[in-house]
Structure 1
Amino acid sequence: MAKRLIPTLNRVLVEKILAPSKTTSGILLPEKSTQLNSGKVIAVGPGARGRDGKTIPVSVKEGDTVLLPEFGGTQVKLGEKEFLLYRDEDIMGTLHD
């Protein structure tokens, strides 16, 4: 049975995107040139509650590609896959083509 994690409050579940270490023609890339700390949003919580009791929605949605901080996040392992759990305010932005 596959487990699915649905984050609580303003938390966001992210699968880290690993950049290729070599080009399609086989040229090895230096580690520094492949490091863009990004991930794909897998699931989001409903949002945090404000002082007035109303829900403040999460700023990203499932499927977004986001820029992640260099450190932080909580590692979560579901089956064979590893994910990271962040608070919405820790995510630095969304990436677009």
Structure 2
Amino acid sequence: MALKPLHDRLVVRQIEAETTTAGGIVIPDKATEKPTQGEVLAVGPGQVTDNGQVRPLDVKPGDRVLYNQYAGNKVKHEGEELLILKESDVLAIVETTQKQEKAA
């Protein structure tokens, strides 16, 4: 990846929201919410603490994360729309179970 985020920032590819419910109902485009889940593509070296040390980030490239709905800045890079977030905008790392991986 040619984008190298600084400090406690990360580059995320948004994962589009599902367009059908579990029951098979199709959700129209206007009713879908902005995606709040994405795949981490690159991370910065870490946050500089008050004493000058660098604290490494908890997320790493390849992680799937949930983030605040209106967080980050959109950038276009090589024709793809990406999101640059601060680590504090990340709410959780989505961990997949073996059962979910087999279904995918």
TM-score class normalised by the smaller sequence? 0.7 to 0.9
Match among 6, 14, 33 for residue 12 of structure 2: 14
Aligned pairs, how many?
92
TM-score (norm 2): 0.76
Report runs of 4+ in structure 1 exceeding 6 Å deviation. none
Alignment correspondent of 2:54: 55
Give the structure 1 partner of residue 76 of structure 2: 77
Distance 2:57 2:78 in 1: 26
Q: Secondary structure at the match of 1:53?
A: coil
1:20 offset after TM fit, Å? 3.9
What residue is the counterpart of 1:28 in the other structure? 26
What TM-score results when the alignment is normalised by the length of structure 1? 0.81
Where is the helix percentage greater, Structure 1 or Structure 2? 2
Q: Say what the alpha-carbon RMSD is for the aligned residues.
A: 2.2
CA-to-partner distance for each residue in 1:23-80, whole Å, 9 max, x for gaps? 8xx8624545x87620000000001111221101111000000001011201111011
Unaligned 5+ segments in structure 2 are 97-104
Gaps of 5+ in 1: none
Secondary structure class of the residue paired with 1:62: coil
Query: Percent identity between the aligned chains?
Result: 34
